[in-house]
C-alpha cells in the first residue's frame, strides 16, 4: 500500500514538473527570450530551446560556444559584448547590454538582442556565467520607425514653414499694403489680407484700394480659384490687369467685362470672383459691380444688412453675360464691408452661420478706430480660416466733426 502511494506521489511530481516546464517554454516563446549558461573551465554551453530560435540555429548543431559568439555579432557591437563579458567575470552583480547579431556569419538577417548575465561562482571565483537572452528586434524596429517618422515630420514642418514664408513673401511683394493715405474727408478705408492657417491653402485672394485718375477711389476685392503658387500667379495677373484697365476711367461693370474676357482667353481653366467699385469723395456714392462674390454688408443706424446684388457671373464662367452697375449712397455713421468667401466659410459650419456672425461683428465696428475694429471683427467670426485665405475691405463714414 505504501509503495502504491509513493508511486502516485512520484507520478504527480513528474506531471507537475512537466506542466511547469511547458509553461516556462510557453512564456519564453511569448517573450521571445531564453536562457543560456557558459562554463569557463569545461567549455560546456547550455541553451534553452528558445535561444536556438533567436539565433536561427538548428538544435542538432548544438549551442554556440562562448569563444565563437563574436563571429555572429555585428562587428560594430563586438566591443560592447567584450565589455559585458569582462564585467561578468570581474563582478558579482548582473550586467546587461544590447547588441546585434546575424543569424549565421554573413547572413542578412540582423537581430537586436538584449543580454543579461551574472557570474557563476565557485570556491576560487567565477567559473562561468548564465543569464537571459531576449530578441527585441521588433521593439527596436518600431522605435526606429517612430524616430524616423518624427524626423520626417519635423522636416516636413520645416519645409512647410519655409514654403509658407516664401509664399507669404511673394504675396506681399505682389499685394503690398496700400501706401499713402487712402482716407477721404470724413471717410476712412482699411484693408486686411488674412492668410489661411495651412500653407497649402494660401491662394488667390486680393484687394485693391487706390486713387483713380478722376479723383475717386478704386476699391476692389477678389478671389482666384485654386491654391498655392499657381493661384498666386493668376491673382497677380488679374490684379495688375485691373490696375491698368482702371486708368481708362471706365465704370466698374465695364472693367468686369474686360476682366472676364481676360480670364476666358488668357487664364484658361480659371475662375474668379470679384467686387469692383468707385467711391466718389464728394457725393459718397459707391458705384459697384460684382462677379459671383458675396454681397457687401452695410451697417447703418446699428443695423446690418447685405446689399442687393447686381447681376454678374463668375469671371471665366461665360462670355457675353453683362455685368450690372449698382450705386449705394453712404451716409454719416455708415460702415461698408466687402469681403471674399474665406472670411465666412468654414467646413465645420454653414455659410449662413458665418454671414450672421460677420453681420453681428460688423455692428460693433467703430469707424473712428477702423483698423483695431477689423482685428476684433476677425476674432469674433472665428479667426483665420484653416482652409482658405480671405480679404476684407472696410469703408467707414464718420461725418463732419
pLDDT of residue 11: 56
Instruction: Judge whether 194 lies within some domain.
Output: yes
pLDDT of residue 334: 95
Task: Find the mean pLDDT for residues 233-261.
Answer: 93
pLDDT surpasses 60 at 8 = no
Whether residues 97 and 196 fall in one domain: no
Whether residues 180 and 311 fall in one domain: yes
pLDDT of residue 21: 61
pLDDT in tens, 197-246: 666 567 789 999 888 888 899 999 999 998 878 888 898 899 999 999 99
In this structure, the strands spanning 203-211 and 217-227 are: antiparallel
CB 168 within 8 A of CB 230: no
Percent of all residues in the chain with a pLDDT value above 90, rounded to a whole number: 42
Measure the N-to-C terminal CA separation of the chain; round to a whole number of Å. 124
Instruction: Judge whether 163 lies within some domain.
Output: no
Instruction: Judge whether 208 lies within some domain.
Output: yes
Whether residues 304 and 224 fall in one domain: yes
pLDDT of residue 181: 44
Band the pLDDT of 251: cuts 50, 70, 90.
Answer: very high
pTM: 0.62
Whether residues 122 and 187 fall in one domain: no
User: In the listed set 80, 107, 135, which residue is the last one of a domain according to the structure?
Assistant: 135
pLDDT surpasses 80 at 134 = yes
Task: Find the mean pLDDT for residues 1-22.
Answer: 60
Whether residues 279 and 212 fall in one domain: yes
Best CA proximity match to 140, nearest among 160, 162, 113, 173: 113
Instruction: Judge whether 10 lies within some domain.
Output: no
pLDDT of residue 358: 94
Residues whose CB falls within 8 Å of the CB of residue 128, separated by 6 or more in sequence, listed in order: 37, 38, 39, 40, 41, 119, 120
Whether residues 124 and 271 fall in one domain: no
Task: Find the mean pLDDT for residues 30-42.
Answer: 86
Instruction: Judge whether 323 lies within some domain.
Output: yes
CB 297 within 8 A of CB 337: yes
Q: Enumerate helices (H) and strands (E) in the chain, giving the number of each.
A: 8, 15
* CATH number of the domain to which 98 belongs: 3.30.450.20
pLDDT in tens, 323-358: 999 999 999 999 999 999 999 998 888 899 999 999
- Phi, psi (rounded to 5 degrees) for 336: -115, 125
User: In the listed set 135, 164, 195, which residue is the last one of a domain according to the structure?
Assistant: 135
Instruction: Judge whether 158 lies within some domain.
Output: no
Dihedral over Cα of 130, 135, 139, 145: its sign: positive
**Alpha-carbon dihedral 38, 43, 46, 52, rounded to 10 degrees:** 90
pLDDT surpasses 90 at 250 = yes
Task: Find the mean pLDDT for residues 85-109.
Answer: 81
Whether residues 127 and 183 fall in one domain: no
User: In the listed set 79, 106, 135, which residue is the last one of a domain according to the structure?
Assistant: 135
Task: Find the mean pLDDT for residues 132-141.
Answer: 90
* CATH number of the domain to which 297 belongs: 3.60.40.10
Burial of 256 (C-beta count, 10 Å sphere; 0-12/13-18/19+): buried
Cell numbers for 39 = 562554463
Band the pLDDT of 179: cuts 50, 70, 90.
Answer: very low
Band the pLDDT of 307: cuts 50, 70, 90.
Answer: very high
Q: What is the CA radius of gyration of the chain?
A: 39
Whether residues 108 and 182 fall in one domain: no
Whether residues 209 and 306 fall in one domain: yes
Best CA proximity match to 255, nearest among 274, 282, 236: 274
| C-alpha 332, offset from chain centre | 46
Whether residues 356 and 210 fall in one domain: yes
Whether residues 105 and 230 fall in one domain: no
Work out how many domains the chain is built from and give that number. 2
Instruction: Judge whether 183 lies within some domain.
Output: yes
Instruction: Judge whether 393 lies within some domain.
Output: yes
CB 339 within 8 A of CB 294: yes
pLDDT of residue 238: 92
Q: Which range, 20-29, 123-132, 177-186, has the best average confidence (pLDDT)?
A: 123-132
Cell numbers for 291 = 462677379
Task: Find the mean pLDDT for residues 23-30.
Answer: 66
d(CA 177, CA 180): 10
pLDDT of residue 288: 98
Domain extent for 344: 175-397
Amino acid at each position: 500500500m505504501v509503495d502504491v502511494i509513493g508511486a502516485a506521489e512520484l507520478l504527480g511530481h513528474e506531471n507537475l514538473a512537466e506542466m511547469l516546464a511547458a509553461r516556462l517554454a510557453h512564456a519564453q516563446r511569448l517573450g521571445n527570450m531564453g536562457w543560456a549558461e557558459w562554463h569557463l573551465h569545461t567549455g560546456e554551453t547550455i541553451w534553452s530551446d528558445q535561444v536556438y530560435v533567436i539565433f536561427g540555429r538548428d538544435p542538432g548543431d548544438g549551442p554556440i560556444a562562448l569563444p565563437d559568439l563574436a563571429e555572429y555579432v555585428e562587428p560594430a557591437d563586438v566591443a560592447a559584448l567584450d565589455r559585458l563579458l569582462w564585467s561578468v567575470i570581474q563582478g558579482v552583480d548582473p550586467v546587461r547590454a544590447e547588441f546585434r547579431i546575424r543569424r549565421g556569419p554573413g547572413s542578412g538577417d540582423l537581430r537586436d538582442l538584449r543580454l543579461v548575465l551574472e557570474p557563476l561562482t565557485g570556491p576560487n571565483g567565477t567559473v562561468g556565467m548564465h543569464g537571459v537572452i531576449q530578441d527585441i528586434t521588433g521593439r527596436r524596429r518600431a522605435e526606429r520607425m517612430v524616430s524616423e517618422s518624427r524626423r520626417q515630420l519635423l522636416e516636413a514642418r520645416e519645409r512647410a514653414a519655409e514654403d509658407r514664408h516664401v509664399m507669404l513673401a511673394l504675396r506681399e511683394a505682389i499685394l503690398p499694403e496700400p501706401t499713402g493715405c487712402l482716407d477721404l474727408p470724413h471717410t476712412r478705408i482699411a484693408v486686411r489680407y488674412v492668410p489661411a492657417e495651412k500653407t497649402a491653402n494660401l491662394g488667390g485672394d486680393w484687394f485693391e484700394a487706390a486713387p483713380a485718375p478722376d479723383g475717386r477711389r478704386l476699391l476692389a476685392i477678389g478671389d482666384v480659384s485654386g491654391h498655392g503658387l499657381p493661384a498666386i500667379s493668376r491673382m497677380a495677373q488679374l490684379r495688375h490687369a485691373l490696375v491698368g484697365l482702371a486708368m481708362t476711367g471706365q465704370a466698374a461693370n465695364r472693367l468686369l467685362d474686360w476682366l472676364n474676357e481676360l480670364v476666358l482667353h488668357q487664364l484658361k481653366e480659371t475662375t474668379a470672383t470679384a467686387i469692383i467699385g468707385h467711391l466718389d469723395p464728394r457725393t459718397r456714392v459707391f458705384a459697384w459691380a460684382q462677379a459671383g462674390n458675396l454681397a457687401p454688408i452695410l451697417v447703418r443706424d446699428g443695423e446690418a444688412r447685405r446689399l442687393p446684388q447686381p447681376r454678374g457671373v463668375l469671371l471665366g464662367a461665360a462670355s457675353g453675360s453683362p455685368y450690372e452697375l449698382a450705386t449705394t449712397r453712404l451716409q454719416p455713421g455708415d460702415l461698408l464691408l466687402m469681403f471674399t468667401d474665406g472670411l465666412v466659410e468654414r467646413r465645420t459650419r454653414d455659410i449662413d452661420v458665418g454671414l450672421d456672425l460677420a453681420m453681428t461683428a460688423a455692428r460693433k465696428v467703430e469707424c473712428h478706430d477702423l483698423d483695431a475694429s477689423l482685428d476684433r471683427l476677425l476674432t469674433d467670426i472665428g479667426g483665420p480660416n484653416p482652409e482658405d485665405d480671405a480679404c476684407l475691405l472696410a469703408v467707414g463714414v464718420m461725418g463732419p466733426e
